[in-house]
Structures are given as C-alpha cells and as structure tokens.
Amino acid sequence: MTGRITLVNEGQNYIEFDVECNIIQAVRPSGLAGWKGTRILNKTVSVGGTLKIDLQWDDYDLPLKYAIASIQEEEVAGSEWLKANMPAEPTLYASAQTEVEHMAYEVYCGEIPLYFDCVTTAAVAAANALLSTDKIPSALLEHIDGVQLVDEPAPWDESVVANLVEHFMTIFGGRTIDAGIIAHEATHSWAAVKWGSTRPPDDSDYMAAINSGEPAVTEYAKTSPGEDLAESVRLYVMDREDCKKIAPLRFGVIDKLMTDPDYHG
C-alpha cells in the first residue's frame, strides 16, 4: 500500500497516515510522529476495516480500534517500466552485507539484476540509474553483478548510502540514488581489477593529475586518491562538460580509461 489512510472514531477524532509500501512515512496529529517508520501489517486494507500496526508494544491499542474512513492509493511516479517487468511474486533473498533475508522482486535492468522489496521512489530511481547506459560507461557496468535495495542501514556506519562488495552493490536505508552513485561504487571495483587496488598507481597519469595541483572535484574526493578517482568518475558520468571544466586533467585521463582498455591510466 502506497498512499494515505485516514482512521476516524465515533467522536470524529482522526489519525492520518502517509504510507509507502506499508511503511508509515508521516503521521497526523503530530503527537504521533513517533510512529514514523512503523510497518502496517495488513495485507489488504478496506474502508470500515481496522488497521494492524507493528507497534512493538502491547499496552497501547486504542488508536487501532479507529475504523478506516478513507484510502487514497497513489502510484509511484515513473514506476510503469518497473511494474511491467517485475514478477508477480517476490522470492526470498539474503542480503550479503546485512545478513537479513528479504522477500524481494528481481528485475533485470539491462544485464544487471535489481532486487527490491516494493515499488518505491528509491526502486524506480535505482532502475533508471542502471538503465542509464548512455551515462555509465560499459567498463564500469561490467563490474556490477547485481544491486539490492534494503531498508536497514549499513551495519558499520548508518551514513553509508551504498557499497559494492565482490561486484554486488547494496543500497542502504531505502536511499534514492542516481547513475553517479552507481558509477562511484563501480569505480572502486573497476580500479581493484585493473590496478590491484582502489588507489591509482603512483606512476599513473591519474596520480600525476592529482599531484599537479588541480583542485579535487568535491571535499570527499580529498580523503584519498581512490575516493578522488571515484568522485571524479561520478562527476564525469553526471556532467561531462562540468567535469572537463572543473578538472580537465582528471577528465582527460578518465575519458581515456573508460574507452581504451589497454590504457594504463
């Protein structure tokens, strides 16, 4: 269920939920905002029925006795392609990076499978990003064997948006990503295969570009040469002209790396 559900009791007191894939995203009155992120357990909802909510406690069930007064279902914008290509039923998969099992749908975006629990804005964005073959070089896409969206945060750092391990990418916390984030993570895997390390070799043209004094493209790029490369590739994918303008030396090396497999870099 994605949309809005309103509950009303006989005294006309109400509770209104904004829901995405059976997860409460917002609650009114604001005093119940603590319910944000709570899962609705109903497989189906109907006007006049009651709502079952995973409250995690047993001694506060009065609001659940309010009847469902209205249901406004909403389509996730841009979800037509995803819905047309997803199977009728999900299959049980385990997330390699969180060790949590999910009932997930598998949809091939080009040659890369995408796994997701429900059609959300995040799932649509991930599918669109993987289908952006006009943006993401094939040299990077070859290093992605699959992508999975999970609700859980990264176990080691809740701020992590995505991570790629052994060519399988996990997008954490239901985050919305774009082609640039996929390219960033894929660059680490690509570099490890090409150079045996995510860090460009000291004798490479890319390290020469870093050492030239040309400014890094983002603050995060300054944390290491490997992140400098990944962030520069992200910008290259999202806006080639901007990358060429901001970092022409890095752009020249990346452009050749992405098109000439024999180039050392």
> What digits encode the pLDDT tens for the residues 149-191?
998 888 889 999 999 988 999 999 889 999 999 999 999 999 9
pLDDT given at position 251: 98
Which residues lie closer than 8 Å to 223 by C-beta, 6 or more apart? none
Which class for 54: exposed (0-12), middle (13-18), buried (19 or more C-beta within 10 A)? exposed
Q: DSSP E strands: which ranges in the chain?
A: 3-8, 14-20, 23-28, 67-73, 91-94, 101-109, 112-116, 146-149, 162-165, 168-171
CA-based end-to-end distance of the chain: 49
pLDDT (mean) for 87-108: 85
pLDDT band for position 61 (50/70/90)? very low
Question: 128 and 20, same structural domain?
Answer: no
CA distance 104 to 150: 10
Question: 108 and 164, same structural domain?
Answer: yes
pLDDT given at position 201: 97
Q: Would the pTM of this model clear 0.85, i.e. be above it?
A: no
Residue 263 lies in a domain: no
Residues forming beta bridges with residue 125, ordered by sequence position: none
From 73, 92, 125, give the residue that closes a domain.
73
Going edge to edge, which strands form the sheet with 112-116?
Answer: 91-94, 101-109, 112-116, 146-149, 168-171, 162-165
Query: How many other C-beta atoms can be found within 10 angstroms of the C-beta atom of residue 60?
Result: 8
Question: 182 and 110, same structural domain?
Answer: yes
Question: 192 and 88, same structural domain?
Answer: yes
Question: 114 and 220, same structural domain?
Answer: yes
Question: 144 and 53, same structural domain?
Answer: no
pLDDT band for position 75 (50/70/90)? confident
Backbone φ and ψ of 102, nearest 5°: -130, 145
Domain that includes residue 54, residue range: 3-73
Question: 148 and 92, same structural domain?
Answer: yes
pLDDT given at position 60: 47
From 32, 55, 73, give the residue that closes a domain.
73
Strands 112-116 and 146-149: parallel
* Alpha helices by DSSP H, the chain: 80-85, 121-130, 138-141, 179-195, 205-211, 225-238, 240-246, 248-257
Question: 67 and 174, same structural domain?
Answer: no
The yes-or-no verdict on residue 221 having pLDDT over 60 is: yes
pLDDT given at position 56: 62
Mean pLDDT over all residues of the chain? 90
Residue 262 lies in a domain: no
Tell me 46's DSSP state: -
pLDDT band for position 62 (50/70/90)? very low
CA distance 57 to 74: 30
Question: 102 and 44, same structural domain?
Answer: no
Residue 19 lies in a domain: yes
pLDDT (mean) for 96-105: 81
CA distance 108 to 78: 17
Question: 131 and 223, same structural domain?
Answer: yes
Total domains in the chain come to: 2
Residue 158 lies in a domain: yes
pLDDT (mean) for 221-242: 97
Question: 64 and 18, same structural domain?
Answer: yes
The yes-or-no verdict on residue 54 having pLDDT over 90 is: no
pLDDT given at position 80: 94
